[in-house]
Amino acid sequence: MKDDEAISMWRGDCHDCRRQARNGDQHIWNGIIRSLKMAIDPVCKMTVDEKKSAATSDYNGKKYYFCAKGCKIVFDKNPEKYLAKK
């Protein structure tokens, strides 16, 4: 997917994506987020631009991005709490 297509979908210009999102297809939005180099802050669940994140942590070979340094501090104290599947 090209960046301009992803941006169009993210803005809701794609009718199919809007329909699927209304039907609860979260994987579509997750794909759009990944294509735009966005991440989800594991603490507050906010969408974070990887290039502009306030902080990052490496845990078990994966990089996590945070909206604020406070979220990183909380995550670093107990990463498994925020990575556990709910």
> Could you give the 3-state DSSP secondary structure of residue 49?
strand
- Give 45-66 pLDDT, tens digit per residue: 998 999 899 999 999 999 999 9
Output the six-digit token pair for 25: 């297809």
pLDDT at res. 1? 45
pLDDT at res. 10? 45
Is pTM beyond 0.85? Reply is no
Give the C-alpha separation, 28 to 14, whole Å. 11
- Give 2-17 pLDDT, tens digit per residue: 445 544 444 444 545 5
CA angle 67, 45, 80 (to 5 degrees): 100
**Nearest Cα residue to 82 out of 48, 50, 59, 61:** 59
Give the C-alpha separation, 82 to 20, whole Å. 28
Over the chain, what is the mean pLDDT?
A: 76
Task: Point out which residues pair with 64 in neighbouring strands.
Answer: 57
